[in-house]
Amino acid sequence: MSTVEGEPRAVLIPIADGTEEIEAIAVADVLTRGGMMVTLASVGRKMQNIVTMSQGTKVQGDIAIEACVDLSFDLIMCPGGPGAQHLHDSAELITMLQKQKRQGRYYGGICAAPAVVLLPHGLLDSGPATTYPSYESKMVGVDYRPNERVVVNDKCITSQGPGTAIEMGLKLVELLCSQEMAQNVAKALVV
């Protein structure tokens, strides 16, 4: 899944029981509209890669996270919701995120994921970041930005929650593709 010049950008979005639907699917949709190849990877050794999202929606992942460890992605984006704890507990995902950071590739999280997945594993630097407002107390050691809906800190992108998912997706399209592509997607979405 490593991308080569001229090929679509490869994106991994891990999903688990309890993942917030809007954050996973809205971001995946925006990135797909931006021409990226999005892979939904199920976390938690699920039968047929089917997870039950936070509001009860069942979503089938494309692949299990265990099968992604040796693959390369231009972006790994972690959605939040109660399922963020499952992402935190996935050794495979954390290994991939740490490698992503070391290699200077994009990664990020929305809602609970910055506080629950990224921060505890040393994936948020002391620079700016945001998260779901109720997780503010967990954002120790970072420049917490409660009034910013999407925060870019070098290759780490964080966002606040379901209501900021499309905005985050558009920022990711801008960063990985171009501002023009992001504007075209935004126009098509009537944003």
Residues labelled as active-site residues:
111
- Cα separations in angstroms, 87 against 23, 120, 160: 14, 12, 17
* Residue carrying structure tokens 């996973």: 24
Measured from the Cβ of residue 105, the count of other Cβ atoms closer than 10 Å reads: 15
Residues ≥6 apart with Cβ < 8 Å to 82: 18, 54, 112
Degrees to nearest 5, angle at CA 170 with 168 and 176: 100
